[in-house]
Amino acid sequence: MDSHDAAPLANVITLGVQDLERSRAFYRALGWPLVTEDGDLRAFELRGAVLALFPAAKLAADGRMVPEAGRGGIRFTLGIMADWREEVDALAARAERAGGRVTKAPEDAEFFEGRSAYFADHEGNV
């Protein structure tokens, strides 16, 4: 296979956050393994991908943009695939204990087979 034909590898998701240490504490409370703490970067291993946290103002400056105004609502989600239906309930409960907000309680999925729930971290990232 020609390397130009291969699908692009997108395995790092970076969230621009307002409170880096509070965000770090939230994702650690979910039990996610912290793999990097380097300056203003915090990164968690997510089975083949990395969730990186970086101050929103610095992320915007790096991208030559302005920080998003935080108007609320939903613009994206980070999907977490669970191996068992019970894991969905457990993760939603863990997110709530960590200071997150469950926006959709665990239930049988409407658009696919399985179980789903939604939660937001303390900054509203879903």
Q: How confident is the model at residue 4 (pLDDT cuts 50, 70, 90)?
A: low
Quick one: 81 and 57 in the same domain?
no
Quick one: 97 and 55 in the same domain?
no
pLDDT digits (tens, 9 = 90+) for 57-92: 999 998 898 887 777 777 778 888 888 999 999 999
Cα angle 15, 42, 39; round to 5: 115
Quick one: 6 and 42 in the same domain?
yes
- Beta-carbon contacts of 35 under 8 Å, excluding residues fewer than 6 positions away, are 43, 44, 45, 50
Quick one: 56 and 78 in the same domain?
no
What is the DSSP-derived secondary structure letter of residue 25?
A: H
What distance in Å separates the CA atoms of residue 97 and residue 4, rounded to the nearest whole number?
A: 45
Run of H or E residues at 96: helix 85-97
Q: Is the pTM of this model over 0.85?
A: no
Q: Which residue has the tokens 């926006």?
A: 103
CATH number at residue 59: 3.10.180.10
- Are the C-beta atoms of residues 34 and 43 closer than 8 Å to each other? yes
Q: Is the pLDDT of residue 1 over 70?
A: no
Q: Which domain holds residue 14?
A: 1-67
